[in-house]
A and B are shown apart, each in its own frame.
Chain A
Amino acid sequence: MFSEWKFTAKDIAEKPDLFLSGHRACAGCGPATVLRLIMKAVRGPTIVTNATGCMEVVASIYPYTSWATPWLHTAFETAAANAAGIETALKIMKKKSKIKQEQIDVIALAGDGGTYDIGIQALSGAVERGHDFLFVLYDNEAYMNTGIQRSGGTPLGASTTTSPAGTAIPGKLEHKKPIADIMVAHGMPYVATASPYYWRDLLVKVRRGIEVNGPAFLHVFAPCPRGWRSDPAKSIELSRLAVETCIFPLWEAVNSEYQLSAPSKVMALSPQKKKLVKEYLQVQGRFRHLFTPKYEKMLGDIQRITDERWQRLLKKCGITQPAKTA
């Protein structure tokens, strides 16, 4: 179904950037790394449409633009609708032979606010109509651009400015919405989750999402040092820890058939390699309150819910874990 795409770190490093230097993202920005890597995996001429969010703001401060490819800013809720329009226009223009290019790919980019909360109806509609585009969600788990407000993607127990941890509540009280599973339920041809630390996995998934005929959805984990109150140098390390603790497992679903990706398969086949969520939570300031006696119970809850979700995913992927002997 997918073309064999061979590449090495050198090939990727030699490819010119389509997301240029000089953007004004914070130091250590996870989404900026994600975009640079994603734009290295495109197969040819590509049009990018971007919902409002951090990556739109930092990359297009007038008169500068960080995009070396056609790029269109759109309102918060309409990234997918816009991509659908572009794809349809290209189809018609090709039919009337007004464009020379054989194949032009369309990528829609949105943050977690623009996907989980505001953009989901446009995304759901565009997927239902079956437009051929790749929707990339870079998930930094809150509305970081406007000052760290909670979103549907914010995990349980995270302190944000609209769910502040204090004497009344231990951060956000609700769970993270399983958006990728919701997209699988649409019967899409391709849905995947990826993390920038596993860059090869991320690039292959982007290429597959582009190659697939029909809508594709890619959920990319993108640490935000400013909003997560973490060390800027640890952004990529956090994206590794999230996979190793199974908080953010990597999988892909081709025609609704779940399949674990290699980095997560390691955790499934040798459960002793799976780390405790504590290791991931303690390096982030937004979870600082969980390590005080008052909210210690929450830590256990997060571990339990993470394990439950992980076991449910393993069942979907048809993996039975080896019995705990050691």
Chain B
Amino acid sequence: MTAQEKSWKEIAPAGVCWKPSTKFLTGDWKTYTPLRDLEKCTRCLLCVLFCPDGAIRWNAQKGDIEFDLNFCKGCGICANECPTKAIEMKLE
């Protein structure tokens, strides 16, 4: 049920937000897409820590980093901070 389908009498009191923002995809904001060079990447995880959007995740089972482009806003922090310059920002 979306917010539009509810009348003001039905919504939660005091404007309690009830949907996790992971349902709201911000990936279409970007003009640049990060591309990772798998050979240069040392899995230091700095990009995972510095991403403002949590769009880069560590997959423990695979033992590798995963980019979630549904949330990436293309800011380029990961490419700028990468110590081995393994990430390149490419125009979409």
| B53 touches A (CB below 8 Å) | yes
Say how far B68's CB is from chain A's closest CB, in angstroms: 7
Q: Chain A residues near B83 (CB, 8 Å)?
A: none
Which residue in B15, B50, B71, B74 is a CB contact (below 8 Å) of A21?
Answer: B71
How far does the alpha carbon of A24 sit from the alpha carbon of B21 in the complex, in Å? 9
Which residue in B44, B51, B80 is a CB contact (below 8 Å) of A234?
Answer: B80
| B38 touches A (CB below 8 Å) | no
**B24 and A22 form a contact (CB under 8 A):** yes
Known: A9-B45, A28-B77, A64-B21. A236 touches B26 (CB 8 A): no
Q: Chain A residues near B75 (CB, 8 Å)?
A: 27-29, 225, 232-233, 235
Q: Chain B residues near A9 (CB, 8 Å)?
A: 44-46, 48-49
Question: Which of A12-20, A118-126, A147-155, A269-277 interfaces with chain B?
Answer: A12-20
Enumerate B34-92 residues with CB–CB distance to A below 8 Å: 44-46, 48-55, 57-58, 60, 68, 71, 73-77, 79-81, 89
Say how far A44's CB is from chain B's closest CB, in angstroms: 21
How far does the alpha carbon of A196 sit from the alpha carbon of B15 in the complex, in Å? 32
How far does the alpha carbon of A66 sit from the alpha carbon of B48 in the complex, in Å? 18
How far does the alpha carbon of A33 sit from the alpha carbon of B56 in the complex, in Å? 12
Q: Please count how many residues in chain A sit with their CB below 8 Å of the partner chain's CB atoms.
A: 40
**A27 and B29 form a contact (CB under 8 A):** yes
A selection of 16 A-B contacts at a CB cut-off of 8 Å is A13-B58, A20-B21, A21-B21, A21-B71, A22-B26, A27-B75, A28-B77, A29-B75, A32-B52, A32-B53, A64-B19, A65-B18, A65-B21, A199-B49, A199-B50, A237-B80
Closest 10 CB pairs of A and B: A233-B76, A28-B75, A22-B21, A65-B17, A32-B52, A27-B75, A27-B73, A13-B58, A232-B75, A21-B71
Given contacts A28-B75, A62-B15, A225-B75, 16 further A-B contacts (CB under 8 A): A13-B57, A14-B58, A21-B71, A25-B53, A26-B73, A27-B74, A29-B75, A33-B77, A64-B23, A65-B17, A65-B21, A66-B20, A68-B20, A199-B49, A233-B89, A236-B50
